Amino acid sequence: MLPILGATTGANAMSHAPKAIRIGHVHLKVADLNRALAFWRDLIGLEVQQRIGNQAVFLSAGGYHHQIALNTWESAGGSPPGPGTTGLYHVALLYPDRPSLARALKALAEAGWPLEGASDHGVSEALYLRDPDGNGVELYCDRDRAEWPRDAAGNLAMFTKRLDVPALLDEAG
């Protein structure tokens, strides 16, 4: 590993990051590309933008070059990391609104895909599951910023409560 020269810590470490920064894409190591595609393309609904044989696939929603990339370069036939190891906790896909999230929930239910959790965080509502390679996946939608919970000083006051899954499912139409 290369040392980071002149690295700072604390509040000054991130003061140079632009406010408009966002996650561009996530690359996931998978054991079987076709099995992963059955989840990310066929169940979640992302579209293939490019495929490199049985080594890699680049997927997105809305025609972006890729938001999720799947590859087997170092992981073909591999196993998910065991409990107590470091790595990706989850990748989160932000849905544009509650009805879109409800339709995703309906598709998961119809496919018999298990949820690991469903939470109301005040700022958002979220579904938690795992892909076929054990990667954590969060599907969520934000509430309007004006509805975000705040404390008396105006600071964000997120929480975790049980999401009313049947009520969300009712919005799927």
Q: Where do the domains of the chain lie, and which CATH numbers do they carry?
A: 24-77 (3.10.180.10), 89-173 (3.10.180.10)
For the segment 121-140, what is each residue's pLDDT rounded down to a tens digit?
999 999 999 999 999 999 99
pLDDT of residue 66: 95
| 130 DSSP 8-state letter | E
Token pair of 59 as six digits: 């997927």
Q: What is the CA radius of gyration of the chain?
A: 18
- Residue 69 sits at φ, ψ, to 5 deg, of -120, 140
Question: Strand, coil or helix: what is 31?
Answer: coil
| 11-40 pLDDT, tens digit each | 555 567 888 888 889 999 999 999 999 999
DSSP annotation of 154? S
Locate 160 and state its tokens: 């975790």
How far is it, in rounded angstroms, from Cα 75 to Cα 134?
Answer: 13
Place of tokens 């997120």: 158
